[in-house]
Amino acid sequence: MIVKPVLISKESPIDQGFMTYLYGYGTPITIGVYFWLIEGAEKKIIVDTGASGDLIKAAGFPGINYQSQEEALEKMGLSPEDIEIVILTHLHFDHAADMEKFKKAVFYLQKDELAYAQNPHPTQQGWFVLPPADLRVELIEGDQVVVPGVEIIKTPGHTPGTQSVLVDTDKGKLCISGLCTIEANYYPPEEAQKMGFSAFTPGIHINALEAFDSVMKIKEKAEIVIAPHDIKYAEQEILP
Ligand SMILES: [Zn+2]
């Protein structure tokens, strides 16, 4: 199987501290907002739905539009109705906007993520979106194989029910991380390693220790880690 990164919008400038907890504060970076198309599986699967720059701006963050989900899919000969499964890593607005566009899909979501999104802590108020009532949602608890070669692993800490997706590829197991992170979270620069950082906790978290453990779990389980906000995938059509 292969994974196609689909850039929907960008956020720029964002303080790096939103991604790497206790490191890089004051450094402005550009992050990508994507969804991910898995090709070669039994079913047509995307991971997350992304969000437009306008929606991101409405939430108070610096959003830049790139393309809509429809435009992006059309370039690949698809439409939102062709998507059979949507795996939502979590319910933050930049990962799960426009769910209603994917009318025929079944959405995979952790049970505790939905429960939390309905009543989030005040520190994360306004960051969650809820599935429309008529959406077909499969609520799961923990790890689960979705189709052969595509497995959800629970990676909590960023939100209570954050999940990530393992995909079998020619080059080994690839993990689309559900934690809002950049590549440096998994592979810190040498100077940070000297300071004792073997990885960085996601800057946004509800439980810092659990979020760090989830970063480590992803590193253990996958040969190739895809950090969902790293801008480098904007230049890559196919992963790995
Ligand atoms: Zn995010």
Which pLDDT belongs to residue 125?
87
- Centre of ligand 1 to C-alpha 158, Å, is 9
What distance in angstroms lies between residue 97's CA and the mean position of ligand 1's atoms?
11
79 occurs within a structural domain = yes
Nearest to 222 by CA among 179, 165, 148: 165
Answer yes or no: is 199 within a domain.
yes
**Nearest partner of 185 among 162, 213, 221, judged by Cα:** 213
Tell how far the Cα of 229 is from the centroid of ligand 1, in angstroms: 7
CATH assignment of the domain containing 170:
3.60.15.10
DSSP-assigned letters across all residues of 90-134: --BHHHHTTGGG-TTPEEEEEHHHHHHHTS--GGGTTSB----TT
Domain membership of residue 52 (yes or no) is: yes
Res 239 pLDDT > 90: yes
Identify the pLDDT of residue 101: 98
The mean predicted confidence, pLDDT, of the chain is 97
Predicted structure pTM score: 0.98
Rounded to an integer, what distance in angstroms lies between the CA atom of residue 144 and that of residue 192?
34
| 88 CA distance to ligand 1 middle (Å) | 11
Q: Tens of pLDDT along 83-95?
A: 999 999 999 999 9
133-163 pLDDT tens trace: 999 999 999 999 999 999 999 999 999 999 9
pLDDT at 236: 97
Distance (Å) from CA 179 to ligand 1 centroid: 7
Q: What was the pLDDT predicted at 203?
A: 98
Q: What is the count of structural domains for the chain?
A: 1
Give the residue-averaged pLDDT of 6-14: 98
Q: What is the pLDDT of residue 37?
A: 98
20 bridge partner residues? 202
Range of the domain at 71: 2-235
**Is 50 among the domain residues?**
yes
Q: Is residue 37 part of a domain?
A: yes
Would 240 be classed as within a structural domain?
no
What is the pLDDT, as a whole number, of residue 45?
A: 98
Phi, psi of 15 (to 5 degrees): -70, 130
> pLDDT tens digits for 93-110?
999 999 999 999 999 999
The partner residues of 166 in beta bridges, in order of sequence, read 151, 175
Token reading at 27: 């450094």
